[in-house]
Structure 1
């Protein structure tokens, strides 16, 4: 008996897109780091939680994240001339949840922040931050790919990162012998 793609995907036709619910369920097993993207436009800070952050290039130094095209925060972020990537520490799940919520002032207490070198909000107590100039934006499906040129970076608390896995925030635990 041969193992075909159709057999392995339990009925999905080869060459067709998988159903959204199946795709989402499958991606949930992939753990990702958590960041908060912040910017300031017209004197008003804006920010959102992202789990799609990635490095892109060392020369030039580029990073990226995706944002839903229906995001109500994106118009404010995109109007800014730069943005910050705040890499969250393992104890900042509440902060990540706050910046993912709608209808709240994300920068009001208990959120603590300060203006960065170009004015974008830098969140306090994060593992690290990157300040970026917009480099490229592209429509990719129902999301926007945002690429930023890193102009400043700093490591503050290099401890354990905040992770997102199966719809929940969690912590990284190293393998006891340091290997995978």
Structure 2
């Protein structure tokens, strides 16, 4: 890798709006990260979730440094990754809204084995222990060690593309 602070790279970075528009061409899965802090559930929607390593089992997501939810979520001793199903766009939107009571009805959830909220009807859950955090630009990269994992259904995933939630359609040749 040759770019980054103090390394040779392009003469200037692309503008934020062009960067945002270009990245909108990339579809990503949608998850809701949840935790409990002081007995109060907290959560946020993330579209930057990915696997990192099999040995040890690590996953990651990014959160905006200006997030008002992150300080409470980040202070928790563990967190859950709720992998959303294609019919959960409204749930994803609720957890992305500022000032919303995200865990009030119609949100349905239960405490997980370590206490982090597990959302009902999701495709899968991962229970994670904090592993690493790195500030990268205007975001924080959060890496979690997967302590438990469960698949709840084989339904289609919720995707985020071009600023909208959508569904996956398999190619007819698959």
Q: Give TM-score, length-normalised by structure 1.
A: 0.91
RMSD (Å), alpha carbons: 0.9
Match of 2:5 in 1: none
Q: Give the deviation of 1:104 after TM superposition.
A: 1.1
Match of 2:107 in 1: 111
Q: Give the deviation of 1:100 after TM superposition.
A: 0.1
Q: Which has the larger radius of gyration?
A: 1
Match of 2:54 in 1: 58
When the two structures are aligned, how many residues end up with a matched partner? 166
Equivalent positions of 1:61-140 (< 5 A) are: 61-140=57-136
Match of 1:37 in 2: 33
Unaligned runs of 5+ in 1: 1-12
CA contact (8 A) 1:162 1:170 kept: yes
- Aligned match for 2:161, one of 165, 171, 177: 165
Distance in 1 of aligned mates of 2:56 and 2:76: 21
- CA deviation profile, 1:58-89 (whole Å, cap 9, x unmatched): 00000000000000000110110000000000
Q: Give TM-score, length-normalised by structure 2.
A: 0.94
Tell me, what secondary structure is at the counterpart of 1:163?
strand
